Amino acid sequence: MKVTFEQSDALIIVDVQNDFCPGGKLALDEGDEVVPIINAMTAQAQEAGIPVFVSRDWHPCHHVSFDERGGPWPEHCVQDTKGAEFHPDLSVPDGARLISKGARFDIDQYSAFDKTGLVSELVHLDVKRVWVVGLALEVCVRATALDAVKNDYETILVEDGTRFIDRADADKTRQELKEAGVTVK
């Protein structure tokens, strides 16, 4: 995907972690296929000199979102486990800004904007427009893109660089994002 970055853009890469890729604990079919696509975007972002943010789902053991606690998900992305590491082929450039989320004890945190300090960093860097990619499209990518719009950022979601947990959610999610003002490319 050829993208054209402008000086006031930022790239936000959501949760490209082993547990969301084939063999992981909450694996998305073809979750790993986003890696080369995102790496190409990151290389372009580096060339353009725009900031790159990389988020990770970073749960404590026995997190409230896990089914053992009555939550909706199997155990996944437990802090300091292999499953929580970024996919080994994901290029995370020096200077990429790391956002950890999902570590609160009482509530889950899908959006990279949810009490992470991301907005202050974007304001500080004078970012006006964000590009969002990663996993999973109908969960953390969706929440991040919707929050970006709510915070008045022009928001572009590159669908090639994302995957669904459940493709049955595809039309509904795309429509919701577009209605909210996200550009889905």
Number of residues that bind ligand VGL (CB under 6 A): 8
Which run of H or of E encompasses 56?
strand 52-57
* Only segment of 40-48, 131-139, 155-163, 166-174 that touches ligand VGL (CB under 6 A): 131-139
CA distance 51 to 11: 6
Residue 125: phi and psi, rounded to 5, are -90, 0
In three-state secondary structure terms, 11 is strand
Establish whether 15 is a catalytic residue: yes
Q: Which of 9, 32, 77, 101 is catalytic?
A: 101
Q: Which residues contact 118 (CB under 8 A, 6 or more apart)?
A: 12, 53, 99, 112
User: Tokens representing 99?
Assistant: 């956002």
Residue among 9, 57, 140, 147 flagged as catalytic: 140
The H or E element that residue 157 is part of is strand 154-163
Would you count residue 34 as binding ligand VGL (CB under 6 A)?
no
57 touches ligand VGL (CB under 6 A): yes
Return the one option of ligand VGL, Zn ion, none that residue 66 interacts with (CB less than 5 to 8 A, by type).
none
Among 35, 136, 177, 182, interactor with ligand VGL by CB under 6 A: 136
58 binds ligand VGL (CB under 6 A): no
User: Which residue, 5 or 73, is less far from ligand VGL as judged by CB?
Assistant: 73
| Residue position matching structure tokens 């490319």 | 185
Told to check if 57 binds Zn ion by CB under 5 A, we report: yes
Encode 24-35 in three state secondary structure.
CCCCCCCHHHHH
Residue of the chain from 21, 34, 112, 135 that contacts ligand VGL (CB under 6 A): 135
Number of other residues whose CB lies within 10 A of the CB of residue 8: 15
Residues 97-126 that bind ligand VGL (CB under 6 A): none
Please give the angle made by the CA atoms of 96, 27 and 183, to the nearest 5 degrees.
55
- 73 near ligand VGL, judged by CB under 6 A: yes
Q: Does 75 bind ligand VGL (CB under 6 A)?
A: no
- Could you give the residue numbers annotated as active site? 15, 101, 140
- Report the interface residues with Zn ion, using CB under 5 A: 57, 102
